[in-house]
A and B are shown apart, each in its own frame.
Chain A
Amino acid sequence: MAHAYTPGLRVTELAALRKERILPLKGEVVVTEGDLVRAEQVVARTELPGNVHSLNVANLLSVLPDEVPSKMVKGPGESVERDEIIAKSATLFGLFKSNVKSPITGSIESVSEVTGQVLLREPPIPVEVDAYVDGLVVEVRPEEGVIVETHGSLIQGIFGIGGETFGVVEMAVDRPDQDLDAASITAEHEGKILVGGSLVTSAALEKAVSCGVRGVVAGGIDDATIKEFLGYDIGVAITGTEEKGVTVVVTEGFGRIPMADATFKLLQSRVGMKASINGATQIRAGVIRPEVVVPLEGKKAEGGPAASVVAGGLAPGTRVRIIREPHFGELGDVQELPAPLSKLASEAMVRVLTVKLQENGELHTLPRANVEIIES
């Protein structure tokens, strides 16, 4: 391929980040450009159209569909209360009367003379969008939302569950190779973003929920733990809508994998600070990775947000993480990038690189596709 690159996950002490805070439908923006906002502050709100209910009035009144409009007591656009009569008919000189009552409070959406069907709509559902991160409103898109800019630390995870939340960073373990188990979690962790080491156990997740922990960040998780925690298997990696009471961000992958040293140390240095985290993951076109953002008040990243778009290339000296067996999860530095294709044990002919492992200095030859650049 003429233009190839190996994108990695960002773990950076200070970056300028911009977050789009956009409404699902047009509405009202309640902050202005230049406002300093807090993560929990509402920046825009709107109303989603309410749910629709259908009633076959022709059947209920035993009349023909084209007679329905004349039997309606309320017309399209008019509001109705639950159990209010919306249509009635009388037969045999008014001796037998039939009524149709509204099953909901809302309004009449439409009346069809072809099908005899009446559609009713529930009241609108209010929707609010918060700022998600502490920062500055740098752009207002009228009726749509805002862009909030913040300067701080960013840790991208590889996989997560649960949506946006925020809390104060707290370490639950001392070392990146320690498991995060239930015993490490106490009632004092309520409202916190808890950092574990190599594996978050099933019991730890349950305990986190019962103690009111907002978020958990760990190196690895067993597939079986996710299944147990969610109650179902994740088939396709599109997450973020789970509502389990805690957001989980996994930094390395599935299984017991120590959190990368740099990530662990960075999180350690942010203890006591407020972090915004999101477990939403989408591994398809339009990749979304889970993240931990720790805004640093008073700091400013050089180069602004444009400098944050990274698409680095592999070169001798590049720090990489091995992302497939053998040596899965280990870190190393690129030594050589031989140009010719090489034959693997699986007999596949691929482009390879030689990497020197950080831990023991061993040299290994691996497919280039099986490493990712550790960006900083």
Chain B
Amino acid sequence: MSQTPNVDPSQIKSILATDCGSTTTKAILIELREGEYRLIVRGEAPTTVEAPFEDVTKGVLNAIEEVEELAGRKFLEGDRIVTPRRSDDVGADLYVSTSSAGGGLQMVVAGVVKTMTAESAERAALGAGAIVMDALASNDGRRPYEQIRRIRHLRPDMILLSGGIDGGSVDHVVKLAEIIGAADPRPRLGSTYKLPVIYAGNNKAADQVTKTLGGKTDLSVTDNLRPVMERENLGPARDKIHDLFMEHVMAQAPGYRKLMDWVGVPIMPTPGAVGNIIQTIAKQEKLDVIGVDIGGATTDVFSVFGEVFNRTVSANLGMSYSISNVLTESGVPNVMRWVPFSMDEKGLRNSIRNKMIRPTTIPHTLEALMVEQALAREALRLAFEQHKQMAVGLRGIQKERTVSDTFEQSGSDATIVDMMALDLLIGSGGVLSHAPRRNQAAMMLIDAFLPEGVTRLAVDSIFMMPQLGVLAEVHPEAATEVFQKDCLIWLGTCVAPRGQVKPGKTILTAELTRGGGKTESHEIKFGDLVLLPLELGESVRAKLVPAKGCDVGWGPGKTVEKELHGGVVGLVLDGRGRPIALDPADPARVEKIRRWTGALNAYPDAQSEPVAVG
């Protein structure tokens, strides 16, 4: 963030952190004990942004009150948080917070070319934690009046305008500024202030853009996010978004001015903070990571591959408010293929709509749980598809091609998400974190993301990543320590060869050497899923021999030797091939799914033909 907080990490022994979500405000207490930072307790309370309370700090105080009760300590004095700490029992050294209440940060972005500057602007906004309502471009196929109507209709919190490389042609980007000006955009919250607009385009056009938009909007000019064709420079635009989020958007939300006074570091949008912690971990551990947060309304996907960070938000894929949309987008057959029994479509559709209109209900029966988890697989799969489309190399670049490149047709449009390179897949959100069995979470992650080769799986048990993300801004050591030790629940490791062989043939042979030198060998047939015990804290030395033409990480047919780590689920050997062949119309589908869920011990003994699903 651009504002440098005045915090000395060496003096911090006690940290209070909150995340103000749309429905719940979560508070955690982190303390330095015996030389390491650990999570001590966690409290929560309903968020109080809306009527009848209309003051976010009430929910914050209620959540901290619960922390006080659980920790047997005092953090509040009247309606204030005591910082810095006064004694071992009173106050905290640092208070930080994130927020997604009131619908989070909603933005419109604009760029000259749809697949170049508009796409870069979208990445900058998404990376900062925003929901991108629309991306306008000079070549998006819409006529100017259609674009103007769209901006007027959307009422975003903020607009990010980019376009052109530094020193390039000014014409197109000024034209976009004129369109934005003509729309006379109004902010979503409050009618007394001007809409914040960030200009991060061609520096040569800055004066003209200021002339066009300066009077009508609250314009900020920052560095070009695409100064040259070959390079993105998203940092300054992201920082500016965070600043304006604080100064304008948050300041309009009820109670936030008070909350802003309390925090030791500027409040961050929740997804921006999650992205922060994932990047920090990926960098420190040199890992390629995917993180997903599946909520009631939206699903966020974060990835770091080769130090390139991407975040996408699928605004209408979620498990309650948006659950109907998951069904609409994926189609009934795609959902039903994961359900280990047959049910009629009308019943399924009505039950999902009923969940949408009463989003707080929970599955009572086992069958209802299975249907929700089938929907979760599809929501995750669709959100991940969208992520892969956004996480691409820079487009519009002239590349020198070598002879070997001529055989490789991937080009810059190809996603940089490489499932074989992926080291760690982290899931969070109710349906994953609160699944009655951890094995169910592991199975949903594997079925939806289809990891290849060797991948560790984890869930964020209590969704602490936002608080740790904002904490990482000032105290990365504390944030990563708590992340590794208390935030993640390690599920285990998935080994999945890419490729396919004939049914009944061996796709993978795994030789495992456990602690003490005992060796065991497992042959995995094509189509099989096998769960082996490997507990949390344990590891095995593995020799993984894929079938000819199949790949577990070092190339087709090549043997991989690796250390595999355990977890609360264990070691999953997935011989179903990639992609998994699962035809909704296949009469053997139900039997297949039952075999897989049985192998993973995902459910208690399933009944045969259920009648009620809700």
A121 CA to B148 CA, complexed, in Å: 11
- Are A348 and B362 in touch, CB under 8 angstroms? yes
Pair A326/B365 contact, Cβ less than 8 Å: yes
Tell whether A51 pairs with B148 under 8 Å between CB atoms, given A110-B182, A347-B437: yes
- Contact residues of A between 120 and 156, Cβ < 8 Å to B: 121
Q: In whole angstroms, how far apart are the Cα atoms of A4 and B179 in the complex?
A: 47
- Which A residues are in CB contact (< 8 Å) with B103? 284-285
B357 touching A326 by the CB < 8 A rule?
A: no
Given A236-B325, A309-B52, A346-B369, CB of A328 within 8 Å of CB of B614: yes
Closest to A329 in B: B354
Partner of A223, one of B23, B49, B212, B349: B349
Bound-state CA distance A159–B184 (Å) is 34
A98 within 8 A of B: no
Please state if B316 and A54 are interface contacts (CB–CB under 8 Å): no
Q: How far is the CB of B288 from chain A (nearest CB, A)?
A: 33
User: Does A359 make an interface contact (CB < 8 A)?
Assistant: no
- For the A-B complex, the count of residue pairs with Cβ-Cβ distances under 8 Å equals 182
Residues of B within 8 A of A222 (CB): 346, 350
A325→B45 contact, CB < 8 A: no
Interface residues of B in 330-358 (CB under 8 A from A): 346, 349-358
The answer for the CA separation of A253 and B324 in the assembled complex, in Å, is 14
Nearest CB in chain B: distance from A16 CB, A: 15
A60 at the interface (CB under 8 A from B): no
Q: What 0/1 readout, one digit per residue, does chain A (197-226) give for beta carbons within 8 Å of chain B?
A: 000000000000000000000000011100
Residue A286 at the chain B interface, CB threshold 8 Å: yes
Given A285-B22, A366-B364, A367-B364, decide whether A236 and B321 contact each other with a Cβ distance below 8 A. Answer: yes
Q: Which of B170-178, B233-241, B418-426 contacts A (4 or more CB under 8 A)?
A: B170-178
* B-binding segment of A27-35, A80-88, A111-119, A162-170: A111-119
**CB of A234 closer than 8 Å to a CB of B:** yes
Which residue of A has the minimal Cβ distance to B353? Answer: A254
Is residue A90 within 8 Å, beta carbon to beta carbon, of the partner chain?
A: no
Residues in A neighbouring B183, C-beta threshold 8 A: 52
**A2 and B65 within 8 A (CB):** yes
Q: Which residues from 91 to 125 on chain A have a C-beta closer than 8 Å to any C-beta of chain B?
A: 109-110, 112, 114-115, 117, 119, 121
Give the residues in chain B near A117, CB-CB below 8 Å: 175, 178
| Interchain CA distance A284-B43 in the complex, whole Å | 23
A233 and B321: CB pair below 8 A?
A: no
A244 interface residue per 8 A CB criterion: no
Q: In angstroms, how far is the closest chain A Cβ from the Cβ of B215?
A: 12
**A369 at the B interface (CB under 8 A):** yes
In the complex formed, the residue of B with least CB distance to A325 is: B614
CA distance in complex: A4, B66 (Å): 13
B52, B356, B604: the one contacting A283 at CB < 8 Å is B356
Q: Chain A residues with Cβ under 8 A from B264's Cβ?
A: none
B287-343, CB < 8 A from A: 297, 316, 321-322, 324-325, 328-329
**What is the chain A residue whose CB lies nearest that of B435?**
A348
Beta-carbon contact of A285 and B328 below 8 Å: no
Digitize A218-245: 1 where CB-to-B-CB distance is under 8 Å, 0 elsewhere.
0000111000000001111100000000
Query: Are A224 and B364 interface neighbours, CB within 8 A?
Result: no
Interface residues on B, range: 35 or more
Which B residues lie within 8 Å of A233 (CB)?
Answer: 324, 328
Whether A348 lies near B363 (C-beta < 8 A) is: yes
Does B598 belong to the interface (CB within 8 Å)? no
Most chain B beta-carbon neighbours within 10 Å: one of A121, A234, A348: A348
Bound Cα distance A345, B605 (Å): 11
Q: Which residues of A contact B360 (CB under 8 A)?
A: 369
A344 interface neighbour in B145, B364, B613, Cβ under 8 Å:
B364
Please report the C-alpha to C-alpha distance between residue A1 and residue B143 in the assembled complex, in whole angstroms. Answer: 51
**B436 close to A236 (CB less than 8 A):** no
**In the assembled complex, A49 has its CB within 8 A of some CB on chain B:** yes
Contact of B364 among A51, A52, A286, A370 (CB under 8 A): A370
A51 contacts B149, C-beta separation under 8 Å: yes
Which of A5, A49, A119, A311 is packed against the most chain B CB atoms within 10 Å? A119
B102 within 8 A of A: yes
A346 close to B62 (CB less than 8 A): no
Chain B residue numbers with a CB within 8 Å of A346 are: 363-366, 368-369, 436
Verify if A372 is at the interface (C-beta below 8 Å from B).
Answer: yes
CA–CA, A65 and B22, complex, Å: 48
Once the chains are docked, how many angstroms separate the CA of A51 from the CA of B184? 11
A49 touches B366 (CB 8 A): no
Complex CA–CA separation, A236 to B178 (angstroms): 33
Which residue of A is nearest B172, CB measured? A115
A255 at the interface (CB under 8 A from B): yes
Q: Are B329 and A235 in contact (CB under 8 A)?
A: yes
Query: Quick check: B366 and A345 within 8 Å, CB to CB?
Result: yes
B532 interface contact, C-beta 8 A: no
Among candidates B144, B181, B354, residue contacting A255 with C-beta atoms closer than 8 Å = B354
Contact of B436 among A49, A53, A281, A348 (CB under 8 A): A348
Annotate A261-297 by CB proximity to B: 1 below 8 A, 0 otherwise.
Answer: 0000000000000000000010111100000000000
Contact of A235 among B62, B148, B322, B613 (CB under 8 A): B322
* Distance of B106 from chain A, by nearest CB (Å): 12
In chain B, residues 55-107, which have Cβ atoms closer than 8 Å to a Cβ of chain A? 62, 65-66, 69, 101-103
Cross-chain contact of B178 among A112, A224, A255, A349 (Cβ < 8 A): A112
B365 neighbours in A (Cβ, 8 Å): 325-326, 344-346
CA gap between A206 and B463 in the complex, in Å: 47
Residues of chain B contacted by A1 (CB below 8 angstroms): 24, 44-46
Closest to A234 in B: B324
Q: Do A285 and B170 touch (CB < 8 A)?
A: no
A2's partner among B43, B49, B322, B357 (CB-CB below 8 A) is B43
Known contacts A52-B182, A254-B350; is A325 also within 8 Å of B613 by CB? Answer: yes
Interchain CB contact under 8 A, B362 and A349: no
Residues of A within 8 A of B356 (CB): 236-237, 283
A324 lies within 8 A of chain B by Cβ: yes
Output the nearest chain B residue to A2 by Cβ-Cβ distance: B66
Min CB gap A4→B, angstroms: 7
CB-based contact B357/A254 at 8 Å: yes
Q: Which of B66, B101, B364 counts the most chain A CB atoms within 10 A?
A: B364
Least distance between B13 CB and chain A CB atoms (Å): 26
A367 to B356, CA, bound (A): 18
Q: Is A350 an interface residue (CB 8 A)?
A: yes
Cα separation A109 to B212 with both chains bound (whole Å): 12
Shortest CB–CB separation between residue B261 and chain A, in angstroms? 24
Query: Do B316 and A235 touch across chains, with their CB atoms under 8 A apart?
Result: yes
Across the interface, A285 reaches (CB within 8 A) one of B23, B346, B349, B614, namely: B23
Q: Please pick, from B170, B324, B437, the residue contacting A114 in the complex, using a CB distance under 8 A.
A: B170
B335, chain A: closest CB distance, angstroms: 14
Instruction: Report how far A3 CA is from B58 CA in the complex, Å.
Output: 11
Give Cα A369–Cα B434 distance, bound, in whole angstroms: 15
Q: Give chain B residues whose Cβ lies under 8 Å from the Cβ of A255.
A: 350, 354
Interface flag for A301 (CB, 8 Å):
no
Nearest-CB distance from A79 to chain B (Å)?
17
Q: Are A326 and B364 in contact (CB under 8 A)?
A: yes
Decide if B436 touches A223 in the complex (CB within 8 Å).
Answer: no
Q: Does A158 contact B (CB under 8 A)?
A: yes
Known contacts A54-B179, A283-B357, A346-B436; is-contact A325 B174 (Cβ 8 Å): no
B220 within 8 A of A: no
Beyond the given A2-B65, A110-B178, A235-B325, could you list 17 further A-B residue pairs with CB under 8 A, ordered by the A residue number? A2-B44, A52-B148, A112-B175, A114-B174, A223-B349, A234-B353, A235-B322, A236-B316, A254-B357, A324-B354, A346-B366, A347-B604, A348-B362, A348-B369, A367-B362, A367-B364, A370-B361
Closest 8 CB pairs of A and B: A325-B614, A235-B325, A347-B436, A346-B369, A54-B144, A254-B353, A254-B350, A324-B361
What are 24 sample pairs from A and B whose C-beta atoms fall under 8 A apart? A3-B45, A53-B145, A114-B174, A114-B208, A159-B357, A223-B350, A223-B352, A223-B353, A234-B324, A235-B322, A237-B356, A284-B297, A285-B23, A285-B102, A309-B52, A324-B368, A325-B614, A326-B365, A345-B364, A345-B365, A345-B366, A346-B364, A346-B365, A370-B361
